[in-house]
Amino acid sequence: MLGESQAPPFIDGLYEKLIEGGVGYFFPSARFESLAHVSASSQQSITLASDRKSVTMNWLGSSCLLTREETFSDSEIRLLNSIGSVLGARYRMIRDTDRVEQRFDLFRGLAEDRYISAYVDRVPFNEPVWRGPDRVEDAIEVLRTTSLSTYENRRISTGALLFGTMPDPCHKVPVKPAGALRYSPALTSIRTFYRLCDGLQTLALVDENGYLAEIVDVEEWAHAYSNISLPVPSAARYRTHSRATLCGGHVCMILTPNGEMKIIADGVQIFRFWDGRWRLTDAERKYRLWAEAVGNPKLAERLFVASLNLAEERRGGLLVVLDDARSARKLISMTDLLSHLPESTEDLAISTKDQLHYLLHEKRVLEVPSSVLETIARIDGAIVLDQDARLLAFGAILRHRDLSDLHPENIEGGRTTAAVAASEFGNVLKISEDGLISFFQKGKCVWDF
């Protein structure tokens, strides 16, 4: 090819380090091992082992092995392919001096933002010539810059709906208005931009070429898909946003009031920027593991949604589903069980929580409004249920044995200690006040969300 030359050895070595860095960013628990050098011109490939616990990658003249104790999901393999697509596009450009001069913007910005962009839409990175600009990466930069700003001394929430490239019978392709501006970081220099859309009710509609076409009401946009079920339950605040992406390949990108960035596609949140880094949510796999463990689909959904809502409010909680209701007495004191009702409430000189047990005595969670469930989940202590959704306790202090043998490393805090202990008797969702949800089973953390 015209302008293409053999890459110097140090470039191959550099790109192997970039591969290791990109993989390590999203898979910190996996072990990366360099195997051998192969032809840089050979087809890039990823081979998943039969046990799904190891992946062999032949990329850019290097063969690498990635292993870990957990299996790799389809979403994670897709992310690995996205990392390879970005690095492959950059590598090809370096080898072709004409491409470097024409499209150097491929090297602009953070590498992890490009990996996410390729996950959302890999087509531009697989083309022989990089055509840019990258509207996903531009939108990420807009949200990131906005997150560092305030408007009238308040944090800003905003968002964009990137019009999809697939057929959508419900929405017309937006027409580029005269004088349209590109949805890029340059917009953030206009202070009025911060008030155009709030990311909760209104979104900036970005056309296929990356231009800000109009402002849309997300509920009105999603109304056309109101009869389609979501693949994974969503937090109430962003349920409409998820529904807005169910058809047409549209992508919703939000900066929340908590300063968190979310990317939603195909009705599911696929990425979140939380605690200073991007995370692949892998929501479908994680929800499936939780639902299978609980064994009661309606109960699993109700508790999962309650956890998401609490996390969005940055409220902590602990939800425990026991495998056997009889084990409740091993985990909870008699006075914390809802089955314990005081013999008399006439003497109110001594007030105790069990005097309120009659309000939820013999109640099933599926018969209680979601708002009530979330309210009692905010009370210090745990909500404990059986697999038939019967409420056994709320605001319960859980007993636990010495966990030093089971977990020689330090356990973060009291709620984590309680979650580990309770998971010996069933399945537990722990909601942290920083917005992280964790699923514990048999004394181990199965996933974080």
Average pLDDT across each block of 10 residues of the chain; the chain has 449 residues. List them in order: 51 79 93 75 80 89 88 95 89 70 73 94 73 86 91 88 91 92 93 91 95 96 92 96 95 94 97 94 96 96 97 95 91 86 63 82 91 93 94 88 54 80 95 95 93
Cis peptide before 231 (omega within 30 of 0): no
The whole-number pLDDT of residue 414 equals 79
CA distances from 433 to 21, 174, 238 (A): 30, 40, 19
| DSSP H/E element including 93 | helix 74-95
The whole-number pLDDT of residue 12 equals 64
**Domains along the chain with CATH numbers:** 9-126 (no CATH), 135-279 (3.40.1700), 284-448 (3.40.1700.10)
Output the six-digit token pair for 149. Answer: 């700003």
The whole-number pLDDT of residue 98 equals 64
Q: How many CB atoms lie within 10 A of CB 306?
A: 24
Task: With beta carbons less than 8 A apart as the criterion, state whether 421 and 403 touch.
Answer: yes
Condensed to tens digits (0 to 9), the pLDDT of residues 185-194 reads 999 999 889 8
Whole-number Å distance between alpha carbons of 101 and 22: 25
Task: With beta carbons less than 8 A apart as the criterion, state whether 280 and 272 touch.
Answer: no
- Mind spelling out the 3-state secondary structure of 311-364? HHCCCCEEEEEECCHHHHHHHECHHHCCCCCCCCCCCCCCCCHHHHHHHCCCCE
The whole-number pLDDT of residue 377 equals 93
The whole-number pLDDT of residue 41 equals 55
Taking the CA atoms of 84, 87, 89 and 91 in sequence, report the sign of the dihedral they define: negative
Give the gyration radius of the chain's Cα atoms: 25
Condensed to tens digits (0 to 9), the pLDDT of residues 115-127 reads 999 999 877 777 7
Angle at 184 between CA 98 and CA 209, to 5 degrees: 65
In sequence order, the 6+-apart residues with CB closer than 8 A to the CB of 95 are 4, 5, 6, 7
pTM for this model (two decimals): 0.90
Number of H helices, E strands in the chain: 13, 19
Whole-number Å distance between alpha carbons of 288 and 282: 10
Report helix, strand or coil for 40.
coil
